[in-house]
């Protein structure tokens, strides 16, 4: 079995198990495109369950991108107090809002190249925005995906960027934007690096 066949076999089993989950991830279900971007910046190294309510509080206080761009970092930091790396993230979300208004008239750009120029935006955030906001084929690799794809020997990589590049060769394009949600839900469900445990979970009803 080649890597593509192996990936598809595992992915389809994981999709069958996790596609009906109603669990919301941080980058999903926002009314405005800019909220998707800002929440994804906030979610780095933080649990979705922690990030989502904090993002909701942020958007209550700053309901528009313009109001967020005018926010004082200290006020945003108060909202972010229980978020990992809160000082950096408070600074980045205000700077991102300012950057979008100044350089893109408040609109979210639709290319990786332009997205990664926004403060606080790396490839993971950029790819997620492309798939969530623009329905583009893109592979979002977070820590769960990177860990799981390596544990399952689908890839043998050291960084999420390397994993993304390898998966672009292995996974058919039509599955790219689905990988993140399915593998994140699976990764949250099974901690650690025990391959047998991961595969066993797919067999459980």
For residue 116, with 0-12 CB atoms within 10 Å meaning exposed, 13-18 middle and 19 or more buried, which class applies?
Answer: middle
* pTM of the shown model: 0.91
Question: Is 19 in a helix, a strand, or coil?
Answer: coil
- The mean pLDDT of 56-71, rounded to a whole number, is 98
Enumerate the domain spans of the chain: 3-21+138-203, 33-134
The label of the residue with tokens 């650690």 reads 192
75-129: per-residue pLDDT in tens?
Answer: 999 999 999 999 999 999 999 999 999 999 999 999 999 999 999 999 999 999 9
**Taking every pair of C-alpha atoms in the chain, what is the biggest distance, in angstroms?**
56
CATH class of the domain whose range is 3-21+138-203: mainly alpha
Q: Which fold has domain 33-134?
A: Endonuclease III; domain 1 (1.10.340)
Dihedral angle of Cα 174, 135, 124, 9, to the nearest 10 degrees: -20
């Amino acid at each position: 079995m080649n890597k593509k066949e192996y990936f598809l076999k595992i992915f389809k089993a994981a999709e069958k198990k996790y596609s009906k989950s109603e669990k919301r991830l941080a980058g999903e279900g926002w009314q405005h495109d800019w909220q998707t971007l800002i929440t994804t910046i906030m979610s780095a190294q933080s649990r979705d369950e922690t990030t989502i309510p904090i993002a909701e509080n942020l958007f209550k206080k700053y309901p528009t991108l313009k109001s967020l761009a005018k926010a004082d970092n200290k006020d945003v930091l108060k909202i972010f107090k229980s978020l990992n790396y809160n000082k950096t993230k408070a600074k980045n979300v205000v700077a991102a809002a300012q950057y979008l208004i100044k350089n893109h008239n408040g609109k979210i750009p639709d290319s990786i190249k332009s997205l990664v120029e926004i403060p606080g935006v790396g490839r993971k955030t950029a790819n997620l925005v492309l798939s969530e906001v623009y329905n583009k084929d893109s592979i979002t690799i977070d820590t769960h995906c990177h860990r799981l794809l390596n544990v399952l020997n689908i890839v043998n990589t050291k960084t999420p960027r390397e994993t993304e590049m390898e998966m672009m060769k292995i996974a058919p394009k039509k599955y790219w934007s689905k990988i993140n949600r399915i593998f994140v839900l699976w990764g949250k469900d099974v901690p650690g690096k025990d391959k047998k445990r991961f595969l066993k979970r797919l067999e459980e009803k």
